[in-house]
Structure 1
Amino acid sequence: MDLHLKGKHFLITGGTRGIGRAIAETFADEGADVSLCARDDAAVQEAVASLQAKGVRAFGRALDVADEAALTAFVRDAAGHMGGLDGVVANTSAMASGTTAEDFEAAFRVDLMHTRAAAEAAIPHLERSGAGSIVAISSISGIEDYGYDGVSYGTMKAALFFYIKSLSRHVAARGIRANVVSPGTTLFPGGFWDKVRQEDPEGFAQNLAFNPMGRMATAEDIANVAVFLSSPRAGFVSGANVVVDGTATIRMQT
């Protein structure tokens, strides 16, 4: 299926590894230009070179997404460099799972507030696109309780649902859509579950068994959904939370 993304420009936060990198690569495979940011400059430059090797334009910058001024400037500069902006995927997470004030602050600043900052900075550009899209990467931890030690992470992931739903209604008349993708357990090299597999094989086996399909998601499983939602093929989908968990959650996805 042609997603009609060739020549369009999408921006991904946390785009150098894992789900964010898979999203960036999938956009490029569809012929879209890509801008990305992450904290490590060498990783940013490597990702940009990899995307350019696919025959698309790419732009990147090292920054901390918790720095709203830096993130806002990046969105502005990426749109200027590429001649516009057609979509944003807010992917970065602090992965702060705990009960302390510090855990909540980190999750708030990165998972929630960076999504707000990226969206607000992008909206004027997305409006000019005529087919703008915002996608926030949340988690099934925002819809089911998996333990009090993960409360800071789950709380902010849940907050994304309300923010994006409200945003979607406010920007609909401006030709912009906004959706959430909520991954289940996702396994990729160097990621959280890869570390659990190496450091706690028993715990990894227990969490693997949590998945009725007998496996965890790949980063590409999540990327395929995020990129589709960003495309004109999903042009009447907005305000949705799309759960990509291989039936791991028990609740009805309403």
Structure 2
Amino acid sequence: MDLGLKGRKAILVGASHGIGLATAKVLAGEGCDIALCSRSQESVDAAVAAVGQAGGKVVGGAVDVMDGPAHSAWIAQAADQLGGCDIFIPFTSTNTGVDDEAGWRAVFEADLLPLQRGVQAALPFLQKSDAASIVTISSTAALEEFMGPGAYNALKAAVINYTAALAQKHAPQGIRANCISPGPIEMEGRAWDQIKGAMPDFYKGILAQIPTGRMGSGEEVARAIAFVASPACRFMTGANLLIDGGFTKGVQY
């Protein structure tokens, strides 16, 4: 299937590692031009080099997404460097695991607020695209109780709600908005890889709850993101797509 991504312009925030980097590689492999950012220039340089191997134009910048003006300015700069923006995907997130005001504020300021700010900064460029797409990243932790009360779970639920509202508001402008909710995804050096070594019993307990018998890979999530973001998926908007191997037990109606 031709996803229609060749020559499209994608701005990815916080895509120097994990699912973000995997997505950048998949999109580049499909012919997208990519702009990505991260907090450190070293991470950006490594990501640009890795994504560049897939082909296409790749540019990067070091930016702290909690610095509002710098974050918005980088998105505008990235759109200028690419010659527009067809796809906007913010990946920045954090989980303090602490259920107090400071923990909630940290997740809000590193996850939900940069998402809203980034979308607003990208909208003027998306409005000029004939196949504009916003893809947000939530989590299965937003859908069921998981490890007790906490900001991460609640604010990832807010991401799903915000995305649905974006879809309704901007559909008349030809801008789609969809959400991806990954379940346990194991990638080298990332959270579940670390948990596997530090908390083996907990890791095995989660693994036992996944009907497919394994955790997902970053590339599997990235491929789904690429399809949802692509012109091949023009009629999907306002959706929340689970990629979890059956980990979430709720029925989707």
Q: Which amino acid aligns with 1:173?
A: P
Which residue in 1 is equivalent to 2:81? Answer: 81
Which residue in 1 is equivalent to 2:198? Answer: 199
Which residue in 1 is equivalent to 2:131? Answer: 131
| 1:161-212 deviation digits (Å, cap 9, x = unpaired) | 1111111111111110001000000100111111101111111111111211
Which residue in 2 is equivalent to 1:226? Answer: 225
Which residue in 2 is equivalent to 1:55? Answer: 55
Q: CA deviation at 1:55?
A: 2.3
Structure 2: distance between partners of 1:177 and 1:97: 32
Which residue in 1 is equivalent to 2:16? Answer: 16
Which residue in 2 is equivalent to 1:242? Answer: 241
Structure 2: distance between partners of 1:116 and 1:96: 20
Structure 2: distance between partners of 1:89 and 1:130: 17
User: Unaligned stretches of 5+ in structure 2?
Assistant: none
Structure 2: distance between partners of 1:178 and 1:208: 31
Structure 1: distance between partners of 2:5 and 2:46: 23
Task: Report % sequence identity.
Answer: 37
Which residue in 2 is equivalent to 1:253? Answer: 252
Which residue in 2 is equivalent to 1:120? Answer: 120
Q: Which amino acid aligns with 2:246?
A: T
Q: Which amino acid aligns with 1:251?
A: G
Q: CA deviation at 1:47?
A: 1.1
Structure 2: distance between partners of 1:230 and 1:96: 29
Which residue in 1 is equivalent to 2:33? Answer: 33
Structure 1: distance between partners of 2:119 and 2:197: 36
Which residue in 1 is equivalent to 2:46? Answer: 46
Q: CA deviation at 1:126?
A: 0.6
Structure 2: distance between partners of 1:40 and 1:209: 37
Structure 2: distance between partners of 1:40 and 1:144: 34
Which residue in 2 is equivalent to 1:184? Answer: 183
Structure 2: distance between partners of 1:140 and 1:17: 20
Which residue in 2 is equivalent to 1:107? Answer: 107
Q: Which amino acid aligns with 2:205?
A: Q
Q: CA deviation at 1:71?
A: 1.2
Q: 1:72 is paired with a residue of what secondary structure?
A: helix
User: Is 1:152 matched with 2:145?
Assistant: no
Q: CA deviation at 1:235?
A: 0.2
Structure 2: distance between partners of 1:8 and 1:25: 14
Q: Which amino acid aligns with 2:159?
A: L
Q: 1:249 is paired with a residue of what secondary structure?
A: coil
Q: 1:124 is paired with a residue of what secondary structure?
A: helix
Which residue in 2 is equivalent to 1:98? Answer: 98
3-12 or 58-67: bigger deviation: 58-67
Alignment TM-score, normalising by the size of structure 1: 0.97
Structure 2: distance between partners of 1:66 and 1:212: 38
| Count of matched residue positions in the alignment of Structure 1 and Structure 2 | 253
Q: CA deviation at 1:51?
A: 2.1
Structure 1: distance between partners of 2:72 and 2:202: 39
Structure 2: distance between partners of 1:186 and 1:4: 27
Which residue in 2 is equivalent to 1:215? Answer: 214
| Deviation beyond 6 Å, 4+ runs, structure 1 | none
Q: CA deviation at 1:125?
A: 0.4
User: Unaligned stretches of 5+ in structure 1?
Assistant: none
Q: 1:148 is paired with a residue of what secondary structure?
A: coil
Q: CA deviation at 1:253?
A: 2.2
Q: Which amino acid aligns with 1:7?
A: G
50-59 or 97-106: bigger deviation: 50-59
Structure 2: distance between partners of 1:166 and 1:46: 35
